Structure 1
Protein backbone atom coordinates (compact mmCIF):
# COMPACT_ATOMS: atom_id res chain seq x y z
CA UNK A 1 0.00 0.00 0.00
CA UNK A 2 1.51 3.35 -1.07
CA UNK A 3 1.37 6.65 0.78
CA UNK A 4 -1.19 7.91 -1.72
CA UNK A 5 -3.67 5.19 -0.70
CA UNK A 6 -3.32 5.94 3.03
CA UNK A 7 -6.11 8.44 3.44
CA UNK A 8 -7.82 9.94 6.45
CA UNK A 9 -10.50 12.53 7.03
CA UNK A 10 -9.64 16.19 7.47
CA UNK A 11 -11.37 17.13 10.73
CA UNK A 12 -8.41 16.61 13.08
CA UNK A 13 -5.99 17.92 10.47
CA UNK A 14 -7.85 21.24 10.15
CA UNK A 15 -8.21 21.57 13.92
CA UNK A 16 -4.48 20.95 14.34
CA UNK A 17 -3.60 23.61 11.75
CA UNK A 18 -5.90 26.12 13.45
CA UNK A 19 -4.26 25.44 16.82
CA UNK A 20 -0.73 25.85 15.42
CA UNK A 21 -1.64 29.14 13.75
CA UNK A 22 -3.29 30.44 16.92
CA UNK A 23 -0.18 29.61 18.96
CA UNK A 24 2.12 31.28 16.42
CA UNK A 25 0.01 34.45 16.45
CA UNK A 26 0.08 34.46 20.24
CA UNK A 27 3.87 34.06 20.30
CA UNK A 28 4.20 37.30 18.34
CA UNK A 29 3.08 39.31 21.37
CA UNK A 30 5.52 37.81 23.89
CA UNK A 31 8.51 40.08 23.04
CA UNK A 32 6.22 43.10 23.44
CA UNK A 33 5.09 41.84 26.84
CA UNK A 34 8.74 41.68 27.91
CA UNK A 35 9.31 45.16 26.53
CA UNK A 36 6.43 46.50 28.62
CA UNK A 37 8.05 44.99 31.73
CA UNK A 38 11.39 46.58 30.83
CA UNK A 39 9.69 49.92 30.19
CA UNK A 40 8.00 49.75 33.60
CA UNK A 41 11.33 48.99 35.26
CA UNK A 42 12.91 51.96 33.51
CA UNK A 43 9.91 54.16 34.41
CA UNK A 44 9.13 55.04 30.80
CA UNK A 45 5.91 56.84 30.05
CA UNK A 46 3.38 55.31 27.65
CA UNK A 47 4.38 57.75 24.93
CA UNK A 48 8.07 56.95 25.46
CA UNK A 49 7.30 53.23 25.26
CA UNK A 50 5.51 53.61 21.92
CA UNK A 51 8.31 55.80 20.58
CA UNK A 52 11.13 53.53 21.74
CA UNK A 53 9.46 50.33 20.54
CA UNK A 54 7.78 51.59 17.37
CA UNK A 55 9.75 49.17 15.19
CA UNK A 56 8.77 46.27 17.41
CA UNK A 57 5.11 47.30 17.27
CA UNK A 58 5.19 47.60 13.49
CA UNK A 59 6.85 44.20 13.05
CA UNK A 60 4.24 42.65 15.35
CA UNK A 61 1.37 44.19 13.39
CA UNK A 62 2.86 43.18 10.03
CA UNK A 63 3.49 39.57 11.02
CA UNK A 64 0.10 39.27 12.72
CA UNK A 65 -1.65 40.40 9.53
CA UNK A 66 0.51 38.14 7.35
CA UNK A 67 -0.14 35.04 9.47
CA UNK A 68 -3.86 35.84 9.50
CA UNK A 69 -3.77 36.20 5.71
CA UNK A 70 -1.92 32.91 5.31
CA UNK A 71 -4.43 31.20 7.58
CA UNK A 72 -7.40 32.55 5.63
CA UNK A 73 -5.80 31.37 2.40
CA UNK A 74 -5.15 27.95 3.93
CA UNK A 75 -8.78 27.75 5.04
CA UNK A 76 -10.01 28.48 1.52
CA UNK A 77 -7.52 26.01 0.05
CA UNK A 78 -8.58 23.08 2.24
CA UNK A 79 -12.23 23.97 2.83
CA UNK A 80 -13.46 21.38 0.32
CA UNK A 81 -10.66 18.84 0.79
CA UNK A 82 -12.23 15.60 2.00
CA UNK A 83 -9.18 13.35 2.30
CA UNK A 84 -5.58 13.86 3.44
CA UNK A 85 -2.71 11.61 2.34
CA UNK A 86 0.77 11.32 3.84
CA UNK A 87 2.49 13.51 1.19
CA UNK A 88 -0.16 16.20 1.58
CA UNK A 89 0.19 16.00 5.35
CA UNK A 90 3.95 16.55 5.13
CA UNK A 91 3.43 19.50 2.81
CA UNK A 92 1.24 21.03 5.50
CA UNK A 93 3.70 20.20 8.26
CA UNK A 94 6.30 22.16 6.29
CA UNK A 95 3.79 25.02 5.94
CA UNK A 96 3.15 25.00 9.70
CA UNK A 97 6.90 25.02 10.38
CA UNK A 98 7.25 28.31 8.50
CA UNK A 99 4.30 29.79 10.41
CA UNK A 100 5.71 28.75 13.79
CA UNK A 101 9.17 30.10 12.83
CA UNK A 102 7.89 33.55 11.76
CA UNK A 103 7.77 34.99 15.33
CA UNK A 104 11.57 34.57 15.51
CA UNK A 105 12.49 36.85 12.57
CA UNK A 106 9.67 39.15 13.69
CA UNK A 107 11.42 39.56 17.04
CA UNK A 108 14.72 40.14 15.20
CA UNK A 109 13.20 43.06 13.29
CA UNK A 110 11.85 44.64 16.44
CA UNK A 111 14.84 44.18 18.73
CA UNK A 112 18.02 43.90 16.63
CA UNK A 113 19.86 46.32 14.38
CA UNK A 114 19.02 45.76 10.72
CA UNK A 115 21.65 43.95 8.65
CA UNK A 116 21.59 42.33 5.21
CA UNK A 117 20.75 38.88 6.55
CA UNK A 118 17.73 40.01 8.55
CA UNK A 119 15.38 40.68 5.59
CA UNK A 120 16.58 37.47 3.97
CA UNK A 121 15.48 35.53 7.05
CA UNK A 122 12.16 37.36 7.41
CA UNK A 123 11.01 37.60 3.81
CA UNK A 124 12.64 34.25 3.04
CA UNK A 125 10.32 32.72 5.64
CA UNK A 126 7.33 34.30 3.91
CA UNK A 127 8.52 32.90 0.58
CA UNK A 128 8.81 29.42 2.07
CA UNK A 129 5.27 29.73 3.44
CA UNK A 130 4.04 30.61 -0.03
CA UNK A 131 6.08 27.83 -1.66
CA UNK A 132 4.55 25.20 0.64
CA UNK A 133 1.11 26.63 -0.09
CA UNK A 134 1.85 26.32 -3.80
CA UNK A 135 2.98 22.73 -3.27
CA UNK A 136 -0.41 22.00 -1.72
CA UNK A 137 -2.26 23.45 -4.72
CA UNK A 138 -0.12 21.49 -7.16
CA UNK A 139 -0.63 18.25 -5.21
CA UNK A 140 -4.40 18.74 -5.12
CA UNK A 141 -4.41 19.56 -8.82
CA UNK A 142 -2.66 16.26 -9.51
CA UNK A 143 -4.97 14.37 -7.12
CA UNK A 144 -8.41 15.96 -7.67
CA UNK A 145 -10.09 12.93 -6.11
CA UNK A 146 -9.07 14.28 -2.67
CA UNK A 147 -11.26 17.36 -2.97
CA UNK A 148 -14.51 18.65 -4.39
CA UNK A 149 -12.82 21.91 -5.36
CA UNK A 150 -13.26 22.60 -9.09
CA UNK A 151 -10.12 22.14 -11.20
CA UNK A 152 -10.34 25.75 -12.34
CA UNK A 153 -10.18 26.88 -8.71
CA UNK A 154 -7.14 24.70 -8.11
CA UNK A 155 -5.41 26.19 -11.14
CA UNK A 156 -6.30 29.67 -9.97
CA UNK A 157 -4.70 28.83 -6.61
CA UNK A 158 -1.49 27.80 -8.35
CA UNK A 159 -1.39 31.01 -10.38
CA UNK A 160 -2.19 33.16 -7.34
CA UNK A 161 0.63 31.60 -5.33
CA UNK A 162 3.10 31.98 -8.20
CA UNK A 163 2.20 35.68 -8.32
CA UNK A 164 2.72 36.01 -4.56
CA UNK A 165 6.11 34.27 -4.74
CA UNK A 166 7.24 36.62 -7.52
CA UNK A 167 6.19 39.66 -5.50
CA UNK A 168 7.87 38.36 -2.34
CA UNK A 169 11.09 37.91 -4.34
CA UNK A 170 10.79 41.50 -5.57
CA UNK A 171 10.18 42.65 -1.98
CA UNK A 172 13.26 40.71 -0.86
CA UNK A 173 15.40 42.39 -3.50
CA UNK A 174 14.14 45.81 -2.40
CA UNK A 175 14.73 44.99 1.29
CA UNK A 176 18.31 43.88 0.62
CA UNK A 177 19.34 46.70 -1.69
CA UNK A 178 17.28 49.64 -0.38
CA UNK A 179 18.31 50.51 3.17
CA UNK A 180 17.17 51.35 5.80
CA UNK A 181 13.47 51.20 4.89
CA UNK A 182 13.65 48.14 2.69
CA UNK A 183 10.77 46.36 4.40
CA UNK A 184 8.45 48.88 2.76
CA UNK A 185 9.09 46.77 -0.34
CA UNK A 186 6.45 44.40 1.00
CA UNK A 187 3.94 46.96 -0.24
CA UNK A 188 4.45 45.43 -3.70
CA UNK A 189 2.10 42.70 -2.45
CA UNK A 190 -0.69 45.16 -3.18
CA UNK A 191 -0.02 44.35 -6.84
CA UNK A 192 -0.90 40.69 -6.36
CA UNK A 193 -4.18 41.08 -8.24
CA UNK A 194 -2.46 42.64 -11.25
CA UNK A 195 0.33 40.04 -11.38
CA UNK A 196 -2.17 37.21 -10.93
CA UNK A 197 -4.18 38.48 -13.91
CA UNK A 198 -1.04 38.69 -16.06
CA UNK A 199 0.02 35.14 -15.18
CA UNK A 200 -3.52 33.91 -15.80
CA UNK A 201 -3.48 35.44 -19.28
CA UNK A 202 -0.14 33.81 -20.05
CA UNK A 203 -1.42 30.43 -18.83
CA UNK A 204 -4.60 30.73 -20.94
CA UNK A 205 -2.62 31.64 -24.04
CA UNK A 206 -0.37 28.61 -23.59
CA UNK A 207 -3.41 26.39 -23.11
CA UNK A 208 -5.01 27.79 -26.28
CA UNK A 209 -1.78 27.40 -28.24
CA UNK A 210 -1.50 23.75 -27.21
Structure 2
Protein backbone atom coordinates (compact mmCIF):
# COMPACT_ATOMS: atom_id res chain seq x y z
CA UNK A 1 0.00 0.00 0.00
CA UNK A 2 1.60 3.33 -1.04
CA UNK A 3 2.27 5.78 1.78
CA UNK A 4 3.01 9.47 2.05
CA UNK A 5 6.60 8.64 2.97
CA UNK A 6 6.84 6.45 -0.12
CA UNK A 7 5.60 9.31 -2.30
CA UNK A 8 8.19 11.64 -0.79
CA UNK A 9 10.93 9.17 -1.67
CA UNK A 10 9.69 9.01 -5.27
CA UNK A 11 9.75 12.80 -5.56
CA UNK A 12 13.15 13.16 -3.89
CA UNK A 13 14.62 10.47 -6.14
CA UNK A 14 13.29 12.18 -9.25
CA UNK A 15 14.60 15.56 -8.13
CA UNK A 16 18.04 14.05 -7.52
CA UNK A 17 18.05 12.42 -10.97
CA UNK A 18 17.15 15.74 -12.58
CA UNK A 19 19.88 17.58 -10.70
CA UNK A 20 22.47 15.01 -11.80
CA UNK A 21 21.30 15.20 -15.43
CA UNK A 22 21.65 18.98 -15.46
CA UNK A 23 25.12 18.68 -13.94
CA UNK A 24 26.18 16.18 -16.61
CA UNK A 25 25.38 18.74 -19.31
CA UNK A 26 28.27 20.97 -18.32
CA UNK A 27 30.94 18.31 -17.70
CA UNK A 28 32.06 17.97 -21.36
CA UNK A 29 32.62 21.72 -21.49
CA UNK A 30 34.60 21.59 -18.26
CA UNK A 31 36.83 18.91 -19.80
CA UNK A 32 37.24 21.09 -22.88
CA UNK A 33 38.58 23.91 -20.72
CA UNK A 34 41.43 21.72 -19.47
CA UNK A 35 42.21 20.50 -22.99
CA UNK A 36 42.20 24.04 -24.38
CA UNK A 37 44.54 25.23 -21.61
CA UNK A 38 46.96 22.39 -22.30
CA UNK A 39 46.96 23.33 -25.98
CA UNK A 40 47.76 26.93 -25.09
CA UNK A 41 44.51 28.33 -26.51
CA UNK A 42 43.10 31.65 -25.34
CA UNK A 43 39.70 32.14 -23.78
CA UNK A 44 38.42 33.67 -27.01
CA UNK A 45 39.59 30.63 -28.97
CA UNK A 46 37.96 28.32 -26.45
CA UNK A 47 34.65 30.14 -26.79
CA UNK A 48 34.82 30.05 -30.59
CA UNK A 49 35.74 26.36 -30.67
CA UNK A 50 33.00 25.41 -28.21
CA UNK A 51 30.24 27.75 -29.36
CA UNK A 52 28.01 24.87 -30.45
CA UNK A 53 28.57 23.06 -27.18
CA UNK A 54 27.72 26.15 -25.13
CA UNK A 55 24.55 26.71 -27.12
CA UNK A 56 23.52 23.07 -26.78
CA UNK A 57 24.18 23.22 -23.03
CA UNK A 58 22.07 26.35 -22.57
CA UNK A 59 19.17 24.94 -24.60
CA UNK A 60 19.21 21.55 -22.88
CA UNK A 61 19.49 23.19 -19.45
CA UNK A 62 16.43 25.32 -20.20
CA UNK A 63 14.47 22.31 -21.46
CA UNK A 64 15.33 20.09 -18.48
CA UNK A 65 14.55 22.94 -16.07
CA UNK A 66 11.18 23.48 -17.75
CA UNK A 67 10.37 19.78 -17.71
CA UNK A 68 11.29 19.57 -14.03
CA UNK A 69 9.14 22.60 -13.18
CA UNK A 70 6.18 20.95 -14.91
CA UNK A 71 6.89 17.66 -13.11
CA UNK A 72 7.20 19.47 -9.77
CA UNK A 73 3.93 21.36 -10.30
CA UNK A 74 2.10 18.18 -11.28
CA UNK A 75 3.21 16.28 -8.18
CA UNK A 76 1.83 19.10 -6.01
CA UNK A 77 -1.56 17.56 -6.88
CA UNK A 78 -0.56 13.98 -6.01
CA UNK A 79 -1.45 12.41 -2.68
CA UNK A 80 -0.34 8.82 -3.36
CA UNK A 81 0.96 6.68 -6.20
CA UNK A 82 0.22 3.46 -8.04
CA UNK A 83 2.52 1.11 -9.89
CA UNK A 84 1.50 2.73 -13.20
CA UNK A 85 2.38 6.21 -11.98
CA UNK A 86 5.68 4.92 -10.59
CA UNK A 87 6.60 3.30 -13.92
CA UNK A 88 5.71 6.45 -15.87
CA UNK A 89 7.79 8.52 -13.46
CA UNK A 90 10.80 6.22 -13.87
CA UNK A 91 10.47 6.37 -17.65
CA UNK A 92 10.36 10.17 -17.43
CA UNK A 93 13.51 10.14 -15.27
CA UNK A 94 15.16 7.96 -17.93
CA UNK A 95 14.49 10.59 -20.63
CA UNK A 96 15.99 13.30 -18.42
CA UNK A 97 19.13 11.26 -17.74
CA UNK A 98 19.38 10.43 -21.45
CA UNK A 99 19.23 14.03 -22.66
CA UNK A 100 22.91 14.87 -21.97
CA UNK A 101 23.87 12.21 -24.52
CA UNK A 102 22.12 13.74 -27.57
CA UNK A 103 23.21 17.16 -26.27
CA UNK A 104 26.85 16.10 -26.55
CA UNK A 105 26.20 14.42 -29.91
CA UNK A 106 24.77 17.55 -31.53
CA UNK A 107 27.69 19.62 -30.26
CA UNK A 108 30.37 17.25 -31.57
CA UNK A 109 28.94 15.81 -34.80
CA UNK A 110 27.52 17.41 -37.96
CA UNK A 111 23.79 17.99 -37.85
CA UNK A 112 21.82 15.16 -39.44
CA UNK A 113 18.23 13.95 -39.39
CA UNK A 114 19.30 11.25 -36.93
CA UNK A 115 20.85 13.68 -34.45
CA UNK A 116 17.82 15.98 -34.69
CA UNK A 117 15.43 13.07 -34.15
CA UNK A 118 17.46 11.84 -31.17
CA UNK A 119 17.68 15.26 -29.53
CA UNK A 120 14.18 16.63 -30.06
CA UNK A 121 12.63 13.16 -29.86
CA UNK A 122 14.01 12.66 -26.34
CA UNK A 123 12.39 15.93 -25.28
CA UNK A 124 9.10 15.02 -26.98
CA UNK A 125 8.91 11.64 -25.25
CA UNK A 126 9.72 13.26 -21.91
CA UNK A 127 6.88 15.75 -22.40
CA UNK A 128 4.53 12.94 -23.47
CA UNK A 129 5.27 11.05 -20.26
CA UNK A 130 4.51 14.17 -18.23
CA UNK A 131 1.17 14.53 -20.00
CA UNK A 132 0.43 10.85 -19.43
CA UNK A 133 1.09 11.28 -15.69
CA UNK A 134 -1.09 14.39 -15.59
CA UNK A 135 -4.00 12.60 -17.25
CA UNK A 136 -3.52 9.56 -15.01
CA UNK A 137 -3.60 11.60 -11.80
CA UNK A 138 -6.45 13.90 -12.82
CA UNK A 139 -9.72 12.67 -11.35
CA UNK A 140 -8.12 9.51 -9.92
CA UNK A 141 -9.52 9.13 -6.37
CA UNK A 142 -6.42 7.29 -5.13
CA UNK A 143 -3.88 9.64 -6.68
CA UNK A 144 -5.28 13.16 -6.85
CA UNK A 145 -5.24 15.40 -3.81
CA UNK A 146 -8.90 16.30 -3.31
CA UNK A 147 -8.00 19.68 -1.79
CA UNK A 148 -5.79 20.56 -4.78
CA UNK A 149 -7.15 18.92 -7.95
CA UNK A 150 -5.60 19.37 -11.40
CA UNK A 151 -7.63 21.94 -13.32
CA UNK A 152 -8.44 22.05 -17.03
CA UNK A 153 -5.88 24.79 -17.61
CA UNK A 154 -2.95 22.61 -16.58
CA UNK A 155 -4.22 19.70 -18.64
CA UNK A 156 -4.48 21.98 -21.68
CA UNK A 157 -0.98 23.39 -21.12
CA UNK A 158 0.50 19.90 -20.85
CA UNK A 159 -1.20 18.63 -24.00
CA UNK A 160 -0.20 21.73 -25.98
CA UNK A 161 3.44 21.46 -24.89
CA UNK A 162 3.62 17.81 -25.91
CA UNK A 163 1.93 18.50 -29.24
CA UNK A 164 4.36 21.33 -30.03
CA UNK A 165 7.35 19.13 -29.18
CA UNK A 166 6.21 16.52 -31.69
CA UNK A 167 5.48 19.19 -34.31
CA UNK A 168 9.01 20.53 -33.75
CA UNK A 169 10.34 16.99 -34.17
CA UNK A 170 8.60 16.57 -37.52
CA UNK A 171 9.67 19.98 -38.80
CA UNK A 172 13.27 19.54 -37.66
CA UNK A 173 13.62 16.13 -39.30
CA UNK A 174 11.70 16.86 -42.51
CA UNK A 175 13.16 20.33 -43.12
CA UNK A 176 16.95 20.06 -42.63
CA UNK A 177 17.47 23.80 -43.12
CA UNK A 178 15.43 24.49 -39.98
CA UNK A 179 16.87 21.64 -37.85
CA UNK A 180 17.00 22.58 -34.14
CA UNK A 181 15.40 25.98 -34.70
CA UNK A 182 12.15 24.03 -34.97
CA UNK A 183 12.08 24.13 -31.17
CA UNK A 184 11.15 27.81 -31.43
CA UNK A 185 7.63 26.61 -32.20
CA UNK A 186 7.34 25.92 -28.47
CA UNK A 187 6.93 29.68 -28.05
CA UNK A 188 3.43 29.27 -29.45
CA UNK A 189 2.49 27.72 -26.13
CA UNK A 190 2.14 31.15 -24.49
CA UNK A 191 -0.32 32.72 -26.95
CA UNK A 192 -2.30 29.47 -27.13
CA UNK A 193 -2.53 29.39 -23.35
CA UNK A 194 -3.58 33.05 -23.27
CA UNK A 195 -6.29 32.34 -25.86
CA UNK A 196 -7.52 29.38 -23.81
CA UNK A 197 -7.61 31.50 -20.64
CA UNK A 198 -9.63 34.26 -22.35
CA UNK A 199 -12.17 31.78 -23.66
CA UNK A 200 -12.39 30.09 -20.28
CA UNK A 201 -13.01 33.46 -18.61
CA UNK A 202 -15.66 34.28 -21.20
CA UNK A 203 -17.42 30.95 -20.61
CA UNK A 204 -17.32 31.55 -16.87
CA UNK A 205 -18.79 35.03 -17.28
CA UNK A 206 -21.65 33.69 -19.43
CA UNK A 207 -22.47 31.02 -16.86
CA UNK A 208 -22.60 33.62 -14.09
CA UNK A 209 -24.88 35.85 -16.12
CA UNK A 210 -25.14 39.66 -16.05
CA UNK A 211 -24.73 41.33 -12.66
CA UNK A 212 -27.92 42.21 -10.82
CA UNK A 213 -28.64 45.90 -10.23
CA UNK A 214 -31.64 45.41 -7.94
CA UNK A 215 -29.58 45.94 -4.82
CA UNK A 216 -28.35 49.36 -5.94
CA UNK A 217 -31.75 50.78 -6.83
CA UNK A 218 -33.30 53.24 -4.44
CA UNK A 219 -36.86 52.57 -3.35
CA UNK A 220 -39.44 54.81 -5.01
CA UNK A 221 -40.79 57.57 -2.86
CA UNK A 222 -44.47 57.29 -1.84
CA RMSD in angstroms, aligned pairs only: 2.2
Q: Note if 1:189 corresponds to 2:186.
A: yes
- Once the 2 structures are TM-superposed, how far is the Cα of residue 42 of structure 1 from its aligned partner? 1.9
Query: Number of residues paired by the alignment?
Result: 198
Long gaps (5+) in structure 2: 204-222
**Residue 194 of structure 1 aligns to a residue in which SS?**
helix
Matches within 5 A, 1:47-58: 47-58=44-55
C-alpha distance in 1 between matches for 2:125 and 2:195: 23
- Once the 2 structures are TM-superposed, how far is the Cα of residue 92 of structure 1 from its aligned partner? 0.3
The structure in which a higher percent of residues are helix is 1
- Once the 2 structures are TM-superposed, how far is the Cα of residue 173 of structure 1 from its aligned partner? 2.5
- Once the 2 structures are TM-superposed, how far is the Cα of residue 180 of structure 1 from its aligned partner? 4.5
**Residue 138 of structure 2 aligns to a residue in which SS?**
helix
- Once the 2 structures are TM-superposed, how far is the Cα of residue 199 of structure 1 from its aligned partner? 6.9
**Residue 105 of structure 2 aligns to a residue in which SS?**
helix
C-alpha distance in 2 between matches for 1:90 and 1:172: 25
Q: Could you state the TM-score of these two structures normalised by the residue count of structure 1?
A: 0.85
Q: Could you state the TM-score of these two structures normalised by the residue count of structure 2?
A: 0.81
**Residue 147 of structure 1 aligns to a residue in which SS?**
coil
Tell whether the 8 Å contact from 2:139 to 2:149 is kept in structure 1 after alignment.
no
21 and 170 in structure 1: CA distance in 2 versus 1, 3 angstrom threshold: same
Tell whether the 8 Å contact from 1:98 to 1:125 is kept in structure 2 after alignment.
yes
- Once the 2 structures are TM-superposed, how far is the Cα of residue 105 of structure 1 from its aligned partner? 0.3
C-alpha distance in 1 between matches for 2:88 and 2:154: 16
Matches within 5 A, 1:122-133: 122-133=119-130
Long gaps (5+) in structure 1: 1-5, 206-210
Query: Which structure: larger Rg?
Result: 2
